[in-house]
Amino acid sequence: MADKAVARLAGINVGAPARSLPSADFGLIGLAVMGQNLILNAADHGFTVCAYNRTTSKVDRFLENEAKGKPIVGAHSVEEFCAKLKRPRRIMLLVMAGKPVDQFIESLLPHLEEGDIIIDGGNSHFPDSNRRTKYLAEKGIRFVGSGVSGGEEGARYGPSLMPGGNEEAWPYIKDVFQSIAAKSDGEACCDWVGDEGAGHFVKMVHNGIEYGDMQLICEAYDILKRGLGLKGKEIADVFAEWNKGVLDSFLIEITRDILYYNDEDGTPLVEKILDKAGQKGTGKWTAVNALDLGMPVTLIGEAVFSRCLSAIKDERTRASGLLNGPTPEFDGDKQAFIKDLEQALYASKIISYAQGFMLIQEAAREYGWKLNKPSIALMWRGGCIIRSVFLKDITNAYRNNPDLENLLFDDFFNKAIHNAQQGWRNVVSKGALWGIPTPAFSTALSFFDGYRTRDLPANLLQAQRDYFGAHTFRIKPEHASETYPEGKDIHVNWTGRGGNVSASTYIV
């Protein structure tokens, strides 16, 4: 009672926690595992964090258990949450993407002031982040849409963070973000990405590349299993060896661990898992956006379609009894072929990242974003699912030449892709001869061959389009003439029966 009396004499209203003096450096809404782990991470780095969840019992439970003894405070209302944050308020949302983000933003707005910052750390679609950046800027609030990768462990001990949006916010959140982010060679795997939805766009491409990497690894596993006839531990040994070289990465590492893991009966658990792959949509978003922008991001597209094919398990089961193909037989040097497979996987990964950065570059042009390509590669070097030693070479490539037109034009990757060619072609051809599907390996090689071809058969395609639809074509400069002028849309009456009027021309 005496303490309360003293407090009242000092002018402190002990019955109104929502009006208490601001004490928290950072606020986070959403206490699922990712949210809790990010809060603990920030607290470990010396920041006082305020936690809030719509179900307030989760706040109390968190404070009494995982957060106990740490510089973490809780709130039981949005008003109290905002009151406990120092200015400018730095608020991170880790809630379900879509309407819940907009709903929380609207609930926060009455309690915010000009210059405060809202960060969406969920898996939001980048057009939503474009919209939110503009909407909140009109209200004087700085919005950041940040990709967060690394799963539960990354959130706790160092994720990859990809912030974009209102750049005025970056100086105010940089200390928190770069402190809690993963580190690679002493550098934080976090830097400012670019404008509006650029952070979530880069996270979307990251997830697309993740789809591609996983599909490539699965194809390599299938070739080792069905093509070479290796057993579980033998395949695991191969991945363990690969993880010591150019393929050293998180996904190769966990594949090794999965393949070594036996069920209680001593057999590999992975062989008992139903072959129906799930997906949450970010890979599809990447493929759809690539089509929208006219970019040949073929490997991610094939990875998405491969998951779709796996999903029709019952139909595939029926097809397996009706459709025949070759039975794999291998009679060569297994170790030599495994080295070829390693090179095929490495080369295909190079293509996947090259395609991903092609998409990022085109998005920057299309949406008018200023993107930090060297930092994007750095962000992916640690803390995220696609982290690998390989990304250090990509970082170096873009640091050496920020205007690099294509990753394949960099000396390091140019040499690597050429050194891998023979083994890569051997693996793809063997897959076709054995009847083992290699959609990701195959499309990567097809892209490479198409990209390095000066004259593709699209000349015939253009003639066909003009023949049946009067869609016009353009003449090669070396064949230009008065009849067929260079740089002009031309229509030919191929049969003598059609007219001379051409259709509208669309060039992607």
Binding-site residues: 30-35, 53-55, 95-97, 123, 149-151, 206-207, 211, 280, 307, 465, 471
Q: Torsion angle, CA of 222/227/233/238, rounded to 10 degrees?
A: -80
How far is the CA of 170 from the CAs of 1, 54, 146, 163, 437, in angstroms? 46, 27, 11, 8, 46
Tokens representing 35 are 């949210």
Annotated binding site for NADP(+): 30-35, 53-55, 95-97, 123
Annotated binding site for substrate: 123, 149-151, 206-207, 211, 280, 307, 465, 471
Which regions of 316-469 does DSSP assign to beta strands (E)? none
Give, to the nearest 10 degrees, the angle between helix 334-367 and helix 439-451: 60
Name the burial class of residue 357, with classes exposed (0-12), middle (13-18) and buried (19+) by CB atoms within 10 angstroms of its CB. Answer: buried
Angle at 335 between CA 258 and CA 325, to 5 degrees: 75
Peptide bond into 163 cis (omega under 30): no
Pairing state between β 90-93 and 26-29 = parallel
**Nearest C-alpha neighbor of 226 from the set 435, 429, 427:** 435
Reduced to 3 states (helix: H, G, I; strand: E, B; else coil), residue 26 is strand
Q: What is the separation, in whole angstroms, between the first and last Cα of the chain?
A: 76
Query: What is the per-residue DSSP string for 350-367?
Result: HHHHHHHHHHHHHHHHHH
The 10 Å Cβ neighbour count of residue 254 is: 14
The 10 Å Cβ neighbour count of residue 487 is: 8
The owner of tokens 């706040």 is 59
Which regions of 138-252 does DSSP assign to beta strands (E)? 142-149, 160-165, 183-184, 187-188, 194-195
The 10 Å Cβ neighbour count of residue 459 is: 13
Reduced to 3 states (helix: H, G, I; strand: E, B; else coil), residue 218 is helix
Name the burial class of residue 101, with classes exposed (0-12), middle (13-18) and buried (19+) by CB atoms within 10 angstroms of its CB. Answer: buried
| Catalytic sites, residue numbers | 203, 210
CB 29 within 8 A of CB 52: yes
Measured in whole angstroms, how far is the alpha carbon of residue 201 from the centre of its chain? 8
Cβ within 8 Å of residue 328, ≥6 positions away: 226, 227, 229, 434, 435, 436
Q: Which helix (H) or strand (E) holds 207?
A: helix 198-222
